[in-house]
Structure 1
Amino acid sequence: MSNFIRLLRLCRPHYKAMLLGVFLTVLTVLSNVGLLAISGWFLASMAAAGIASTQMNYFTPAGIIRFLAIVRTASRYGERLVTHNATFLLLSEIRVNVFATLSQLNNQQLAMNRSADLFNRMQNDVDALDKFYLNVLLPMLVALVCVPIVVWIIAGFNPAVALICLCGILLVGVGLPLLLNKKLSRSAAQQIKRSAQLREILSDTLSGQRELAIYQATEHQLAKCNEVQKSYNALLDKRHQALADSDGLSLIVVQLAMLASVVILVPLVQLEQLPNVHLAMLSLFVLASFETVLSLPSAFIQLPVALSAAGRIFALHDMLPQAVDMPLDTPLCATPSVINPTTQGVGLTVQNVSYQYANDPLTNALHSRPQAISEHYALQNLSFSVQANENIALVGASGSGKSTLVNLLSGLWPEQQGDISFNRQVNEPNTNDISVMAKTLSFEQRSSLIGILAQQHHIFDGTIADNLHYASPEASKTQMIQACEQAQLGQWLQTLPNGLDTRLGSAGRRLSQGQSRRLAIAQMLLRQPAILVLDEPTEGLDNQSKQAVMEAVMHAMRYSTVLCITHDPALLKSMDKVVWLEDGQVKGQASHQALLTEHQAYVELITRV
């Protein structure tokens, strides 16, 4: 039930379109019921008038019939247009919500789910919800509105017939759906699970074709695929059989209700307690009244599938950390255009931070038995501070903890022990400096403070301007060109016939590695983050452009705090301080020249690397 309520909350932004769809559907159903009932009365009246050789006014009922036919046609067209549009709006709302949730999960939470399963939730589970409004919610709302109206009108002619009609409607619209829902609720969850398993095993099969061929295990893998496929097909057959059974049972109930109405009405006509023309009208009225609930069995069959898919989607959202958001207008979270960069900057303090992968829930989940606590720490009691607008280099051999530290700063890995805090120094009278713990910031606020230029970056299938706008949506054409020139892309950009509108292809396949790296640098130059983390920024650049690019970066980021992971001696010379890491601990903090003079191991490190 909670998943149903959460789905209704997702419908809230588009409730007007959905309510309009309900109104048009109700109008269509009532017009169809009235059209069939009045047509029955009209034909019976014309026959009775012909037998009695009397005259009757056929213009008025004929006009009413034509009016109802026009209303039914127009409302049916409007209902299809509005309800399908509302369905697409809801589907887009769900897709954006799922993608936004995935984008906020950290590395640990993402790694706890297989990529094929995440893709299944983004596509198959969302697709299972595209019929929630049209085939589940809409029939329920229409039945709640139409059934009382129809029963009330029939009761005005004959209460006994109205009672029979109501009992039949309750049996078709409530009893049968509840029975089917109970029968299929467990298989619906299994169907979603089998669908996810099938996608996962097919994905593994496709990605591991070479290994399967080498070890001659292709037939065994295909047999596993067939086994999962048969299980999934069996669940689908069970659902389709339930749909067929519901249609057959509903038809039987409708015919029995109509027959019972005729049995009640015929004696009343013979006793002349009821006009004979009302026999045809009420019989057809009862028959048409079931249109208000005929789609409910199908709705209740699809409801468990939709709720199971919704549960898998909402499970991702429930994994998000409950951060205590700082007000967006606080000086710490203010944008660079709001603050004065020459007097305000953001510093960083890392105090007694430890991180141990062996104690991580992900590591424990990968083993069937509890693992003994390892004594090895990726980071152990790590402490250092970075002043605002200071340039710091992180140096260390592979496995010294540099990447772990960056993941903790960005929030991609959750903090275990120790504290990481950001502080803004405000050089104004009667104003205290602001310090905020990193764990209390939301993902968006932390991303607005920190910009990371990683070794691996993605270029989207779009134009150069599109990719630059991802970093700064408000950037003008002049600003984008300036950023490209600072990243040493200016001459290349001038040779392109379409300039910034040049498409880069999937994953930037039209760019060389160096050009892709420079474009990532241009994106970071546009962002102007308060804290910039550079992970081997000159990787993939030739010696000629390396120095020019870094000079442009350091000049553009002169009002930012820079944390640079590098072993390039030329870059190390330009840093204010070097933090030397070894085995997750700080082995030394000093200028590059001082470490060269005092530590031979440091000389060997930067020379070897």
Structure 2
Amino acid sequence: MPANHTPHNLANRNLNNDNLANRNLNNDNLANRNLNTKPAAVFRLRDLVKPSFDLWVFSWMLGLITALSMLALLMISGWFITSAALAGMIAIGSHSFNYMMPAAIIRVMAMARTAGRYGELMLSHHAVFSLLKVLRLRFFRQLAAQPLIQQRKTLHASQYMHRLVSDIDKLDEFVLRVISPWLIGIVSIVLLALFASWVLPVATGVKLIIVGLLAASLLLPFYASLKGIGQASHLSQVAEARRQKLLAPLSIITQLLLWQQWYAQTKDYVNQDDRLQQLEWRVQKQRSAYMLVIQWLFNGSLLLVLYGLLQLTQNHVTPMTFNVPLALAVTLGLLGIQEIIVPLGQHFLALGNSIAAKNRLNDLLTPDSQTQTALQLSQQPASLPLPDSELSASLQDVCAKIPQALVGAQHVNAHIQSGRPLIINGPSGCGKSTLLQMLAGELPLLSGTVLLNEHPWFDYDWQDQLGYLGQQLDIFDQSLAANLRLGKPDASDDELLAVLDKVGLSQWLQAQPQGLDTPLGEYGTAISGGQARRIALARLLLKPRRVLLLDEPFAGLDAQTREHVWQQLRQHQQHDLLIVVSHHEWDMGECDTLTLTEGVYPFSNSSHTDNY
């Protein structure tokens, strides 16, 4: 996660600002109904080039100019020096040597190399930043369009968010370390092979061997890249497993250090880290071996060139009968091109890293089998408009559970009426929060029936009419007003002041010099937990909603403030549904209670005070 909790990074915390204030079930229903007919778009590596194709083409052209200018500069310089030396060895007056033209070409090549490198870096960096922007927007928008069940799986799991961010950043390796260097390398090898075949006065068999060695210098990193696809995938899996082994004990490091259990609880991490280091060491040895073999291939080509020239001299062919400067240019070209080809072996995992990142991103946005089944169970042919009359909801033998959780809500039966709040209580781990998450659409309904006015709960087109306050709060590093307006972007200052009064924050606001512009800090660190929860609640109350689902809205509040907020909530929802999970016990007036316990959960329809 980025360290800076700025508006640019809001997507990394929650991909739908409107969901901060309420969990809109409409998107969930639409996605559920289209699950089978409209599969998720599959991301392909070639899509990386499309957003800035013109920039990449110019960047590749400049990269070719840079590489070829570098080779030409080295080869022409060698040819020029050798030719000048030969001209000096010949009797004065019997030979004329025009040194102005080669000198001018060398200067042009030097300027082309410098300008090409600068231009290529500038364009490629601009294209990369544009690519990262497009990728992040694409994947976060695609994730925001997923059902809330799938969003919750991704957003509420640290490994998924880490993968989503890091894998997007890793995709640029495909362009920078696969397409660009391979394009430049292939063109350079082909041109050098053609030039060597043209100017070298050696036997045809020697030329073919030289061309074969040059081809092998490309085939070896190509083979290594194909073999590295599986290695990169395995390496990323082990690295992610190591990260997860560390996160669990790191989250309670203080307690483990106090109990002197840190080393005992991090043994799995140490073992996983050792395994990763072994894999990385193996990869490093492979990388060094590939680079060494590529250098040997070029050195072998160089030795063949020298051997061919030596054969000529042994056959009494004098240097005057063949072009020695051009032969030296080929020799220098074989030395200089290593700078272009050797990195292909060095980055043999780049293709595998890109493919692994692409596959993980596609998997991340594709519902797993359990989620797919749950979504299909809740598919309905059409959305019903919410009735304007009073609402009446019923839960019949409802079961809901967080995937892979050991506990959850089981066999819940309840009835909720407009204007009569439902208070859900019970011991920790009995499924209170899980039940709210299911009603909010964040978890699938495993079994049972949820009805609203005799129609299935998930058939309705909620259209911003369901508000959900979960246990995890979303407070951003922005001003108080900006955080509140996430619930209603066009809210006036008077509306903000009124809703803050409802949650008992008026006096606190008056004591703040900056008023509504008061910064709340990253993750709400500038305020207390109770204040953060009330601000999140105020954000919900900015709009009238037919259903409010509140999970522990009174946590961190004193008795007087708790009573004030409760009365405001009752008044706010006096004609609509209000469902509250709370551990607090006091005289809350006439309301229904649902007490969840182990096993079957009974429902009682009576005043709240009679159930404590």
Q: Same fold (TM over 0.5)?
A: yes
- Equivalent pair of 2:411/2:448 in contact (CA under 8 Å): no
Moved more, 78-87 or 562-571: 562-571
1:135 corresponding residue in structure 2: 177
- In the TM superposition, 1:82-481 aligns within 5 A as 82-91=123-132, 117-118=159-160, 121=163, 129=171, 131-151=173-193, 157=199, 163=208, 166-179=211-224, 181-182=226-227, 184-209=228-253, 212=256, 217-221=261-265, 224-264=268-308, 267=312, 270=318, 274-319=322-367, 352=396, 354-355=398-399, 357=401, 362-363=404-405, 378-380=409-411, 382=413, 390-398=418-426, 402-418=432-448, 438=458, 448-454=464-470, 457-473=473-489, 475=491, 479-481=495-497
Q: Residue in 2 aligned with 1:33? A: 71
Report the TM-score, using the length of structure 1 for normalisation: 0.72
Q: Matched residue of 1:13: which SS? A: coil
- Note the C-alpha offset of 1:557: 6.7
**Range with greater deviation from structure 2 (499-508 or 523-532):** 523-532
RMSD: 4.8
1:117-149 deviation per Cα after TM superposition (whole angstroms, max 9, x unaligned): 446535765665564432234323433555445
Q: Which residue of 99, 104, 108 corresponds with 1:63?
A: 104
SS of corresponding position for 1:451 = strand
Is contact 1:354–1:377 with CA below 8 Å preserved after alignment? no
Q: CA deviation at 1:225?
A: 4.4
Distance 2:86 2:534 in 1: 89
What displacement does 1:351 show?
6.8
**How far did residue 61 of structure 1 move?**
2.5
1:369 aligned residue: none
Amino acid at match of 2:466: I
Change in CA separation of 1:564 and 1:4 when aligned onto 2, cut-off 3 Å:
closer
Q: Deviations over 1:293-348 (max 9, x none)?
A: 33221232343344445444443222365679xxxxx9979xxxxxxx9x969968
Sort the Cα spacing of 1:520 and 1:251 in 2 relative to 1 into closer, same or farther, 3 A.
Answer: same
1:515 maps to which residue? 531
Contact 2:43/2:362, CA 8 A, preserved across alignment: no
1:434-481 CA distance string (max 9 Å, x none) = x89738x9xxx9794532123553433333234224434555656544
Report the 3-state secondary structure (helix = DSSP H, G, I; strand = E; otherwise coil) of the residue aligned with 2:421: strand
- In structure 2, how many angstroms separate the alpha carbons of the residues matched to 1:158 and 1:280? 10
Task: Tell me which amino acid in the other structure corresponds to 1:380.
Answer: H
Distance 1:307 1:491 in 2: 56
Contact 1:407/1:413 (CA < 8 Å) preserved in 2? yes
Aligned position for 2:35? none
- Partner residue, 2:82: 44
Work out the CA distance in 2 between the residues paired with 1:69 and 1:246.
Answer: 31
- The answer (yes or no) to whether the contact 1:462–1:504 under 8 Å persists in 2 is yes
Q: Which amino acid aligns with 1:121?
A: R
Residue pair 1:10, 1:93 contacting (<8 A) in 2 also: no
Report the counterpart of residue 604 of structure 1 in structure 2.
610
Q: Which amino acid aligns with 1:413?
A: L
Q: Measure how far apart 1:153 and its partner are.
A: 5.3
Asked if 2 retains the 8 angstrom alpha-carbon contact of 1:525 and 1:557, the reply is no
User: What displacement does 1:350 show?
Assistant: 5.5
Q: 1:26: Cα distance to partner?
A: 1.9
For 2:208 and 2:457, the matched residues in 1 are separated by: 67
Q: Deviations over 1:402-425 (max 9, x none)?
A: 53332112222112234557899x
- Secondary structure (helix, strand or coil) at the match of 1:318 reads coil
Q: Give the 3 Å change call, closer, same or farther, for CA 447–455 of structure 1 in structure 2.
A: farther
Contact kept? 1:25, 1:76, Cα under 8 Å: yes
Alignment of 1:543-582 (within 5 A): 549=565, 562-564=578-580, 573=590, 578=592
Cα distance in structure 1, aligned partners of 2:159 and 2:594? 40
Q: Among the aligned pairs, what percent are the same residue? A: 26
Structure 2 unpaired stretches of 5+: 1-40, 377-381
- TM (norm. structure 2) is 0.72
Deviation for aligned residue 1:509: 3.4
Residue 455 to residue 125, structure 1, CA distance change in 2 (3 Å): closer
Counterpart contact for 1:243–1:301, Cα < 8 Å: no
1:25 deviates by 1.6
Structure 1's unaligned 5+ residue stretches are 325-329, 334-340, 367-375, 425-434, 590-594, 597-601
SS at match of 1:300: coil
Alpha carbons 1:28, 1:71 under 8 Å: kept: yes
| Structure 1 residue 382: Cα displacement | 4.6
Q: CA separation in 2, counterparts of 1:225 and 1:446? A: 45
Deviation, structure 1 residue 356: 5.6
Secondary structure of 1:230's aligned partner:
helix
| Distance in 1 between residues matched to 2:263 and 2:486, nearest whole Å | 45
Q: Whose relative contact order is higher, 1 or 2, with alpha carbons under 8 Å and at least 6 apart?
A: 2
> Structure 1's 495 and 250: CA in aligned 2 closer, same or farther, altered over 3 A?
same
* In structure 2, C-alpha distance between the alignment counterparts of 1:455 and 1:144, rounded to whole Å: 57
**Deviates further, 463-472 or 563-572:** 563-572
The secondary structure found in structure 1 opposite 2:548 is strand
**Counterparts of 1:472 and 1:193 in 2: how far apart (Å)?**
42
Amino acid in structure 2 at the alignment position of 1:254: F
Change (3 A) 1:295 1:419: farther
Secondary structure of 1:497's counterpart equals coil
2 CA distance for matches of 1:123 and 1:225?
23
CA positional deviation for 1:248: 1.5
Residues 417/273 of structure 1: CA separation in 2 closer, same or farther (3 Å cut): farther
Deviation at 1:570, TM superposition (A): 7.6
Structure 1 segment 587-598 matched on structure 2, within 5 A: 587=603, 595-596=606-607
Please give the secondary structure, in 2, of the residue aligned with 1:42: helix
- CA shift in 2, pair 1:164/1:448, >3 Å: farther
Deviation at 1:194, TM superposition (A): 3.3
Which AA in structure 1 matches 2:285?
Q
- 2:420 and 2:574 in contact (8 A); partners too: no
Q: Secondary structure at the match of 1:452?
A: strand
Of the structure 1 ranges 60-69 and 114-123, higher mean CA displacement relative to structure 2 is found in 114-123
516-525 or 87-96, larger mean C-alpha shift: 87-96
1:77 and 2:118 aligned: yes
SS at match of 2:478: coil
Answer yes or no: is the 8 Å Cα contact 1:120–1:199 preserved in 2.
no
Paired letter, 1:133: V
Instruction: Give, in angstroms, the shift of residue 59 of structure 1.
Output: 2.6
Is 1:501 the counterpart of 2:517? The answer is yes
Deviations 1:545-587 (A, max 9, x none): 55665666667678976545578888655x8xx5757676784
Residue 180 of structure 2 aligns with an amino acid whose one-letter code is: L
The offset of 1:62, in angstroms, is: 2.0
SS of match in other structure, 2:98: coil
Q: Give the direction of change, closer, same or farther, for the CA distance of 1:151–1:194 in structure 2 (3 Å limit).
A: same
Q: Secondary structure of 2:442's partner?
A: coil
In structure 2, the CA distance between the partners of 1:265 and 1:556, relative to structure 1 (3 Å rule), is farther
CA distance in 2, matches of 1:84, 1:346: 59
Alpha-carbon distance in structure 2 between the residues aligned to 1:546 and 1:478: 23
Paired residue type of 1:284: L
Q: Aligned-pair distance for 1:253?
A: 0.9
